[in-house]
Each structure stands twice: as C-alpha cells, then as structure tokens.
Amino acid sequence: MKKHRMTSKTFNFNSEWALFLDRDGVINRQLKNDYVKKWEEFEFLPGALEAIAIFTKIFGKIFVVTNQQGIGKGLMTETDLTQIHDRMIEEVRYEGGRINKVYHSPFTEDERSVFRKPAPGMARKAKIDFPEIEFEKSVMIGDSLVDMEFGKNLGMTTIYLRTKDRVTDVDVEIKQLADLIFPDLITAARYLSENN
C-alpha cells in the first residue's frame, strides 16, 4: 500500500498538472445538516485563500468539483449557486489565486447521476472544456470518501483533508485511497510547495 502520511516524498507537479478541489469542508465551512444557499452563508475556511494562491503557482489548471444536491431538493436554484461561485472566484482572484472553472452536480444522491461524485462526470466535463487535462497528471483534494473514490476512479493522485475528523482516526477505506492526508488545505498547499 502506498504511503499516505506526510513523508519526505517529493513531487514533480508543474503547469502540465491539474488540481481538482472539493468545495464544502475544503474551501468553505460546511454547514451542519444544511446547504450554503447564498453568499452570506459562505465562509472561507482559515488559510483556504492563501492555499489556492499557493496552488496557482504550482498547477496549470485549478477546478472545483462539488455535489450540490440542495438544487435537486429545491432548496436553492442554479442562479443562487452561480452567484455564490462568482463571488468565490472573485475573492480567490483578489487574494492572488485562480479557479479556472467550477463544476457542480445538482442531482440528489438517489438519482445516481454520472455527474455526481464519486462518478466521473464532472471531470469528464472538464476534459471536454480543457482537452489538455490528463487525469494521470491531476490531483484531487477532498474531505470525504466520495472525493477519494472520484479521484482514484480517474487515476488521480488523491489528498484527504481531516477537516471533519480532527480527533477520530481516519476511516480505513480513506487510508487505502488517499495518497496523502493533511489537517486542512493550507497545510497541504505548503507541503506540496516545499516538496515539489
């Protein structure tokens, strides 16, 4: 099994590589038993903006891939989500970062859509929009088993963030699927910057 802890392993990420980021629990604070339905409910996690600025210097393309079943449940609209993401991208840019595009799945878990993680639909959309993407030269960062499965289904390097479970042990399945594990996005960014 691959080493997944923070080791002395070095990487050769460069502008040919793409980064895929989950949103809730990775970039912004995840609401308990709720969805971020408007910008006023969106709160960047500590260090997230700095982390994306660091990633911008490493990766050629940066994407956000996010399941947003609040739309499918009728709790928010596509327009609501677009407004949130437009502001998010603007704030990221203001702090020296870049997000090339956001892909979202509005489908509920019950619909089992190919566009809902862990299925690869959102990454396939990105590949259509940016044909130069090679999934073997891509990194997926997320805070759930679904994110790790999404990345591995596409042959990506996977990084798990322990933003949800700082105290408890990481699930065995996640340990098997995650190449690296960090407490949060900024720690991951600094590590990749120093060991690249």
pLDDT tens, residue by residue, 22-35? 999 999 999 988 99
Q: Catalytic residues, which ones?
A: 22, 24
Confirm whether 92 is domain-assigned: yes
Burial profile 150-179: b = 16 or more Cβ within 10 angstroms, e = fewer? bbbbbebbbbbbbbeeeeeeeeeebbebbb
Confirm whether 12 is domain-assigned: no
Confirm whether 138 is domain-assigned: yes
Provide CB contacts within 8 A for 29, sequence distance 6+.
Answer: 43, 44, 45
- Quick one: pLDDT at residue 3? 39
Q: Find residue 44's DSSP bridge partners.
A: 28
- Quick one: pLDDT at residue 171? 81
9: confidence class by pLDDT, cuts 50, 70, 90? low
For the entire predicted model, the pTM comes to 0.93
Total Cβ atoms within 10 A of residue 25: 19
CATH number where 64 lies = 3.40.50.1000
Residue-range definition of the domain harbouring residue 119: 18-194
User: Which of 107, 102, 92, 87 minimizes the C-alpha distance to 20?
Assistant: 102
Q: How many domains does the chain have?
A: 1
CA dist., res. 95 & res. 84, Å (int): 17
Q: Find residue 141's DSSP bridge partners.
A: 21, 159
Confirm whether 67 is domain-assigned: yes
User: Which of 75, 123, 132 minimizes the C-alpha distance to 103?
Assistant: 123
Residue with tokens 């393309």: 61
Q: What is the pairing mode between strands 157-161 and 138-142?
A: parallel
| Stretch 47-66: mean pLDDT | 98
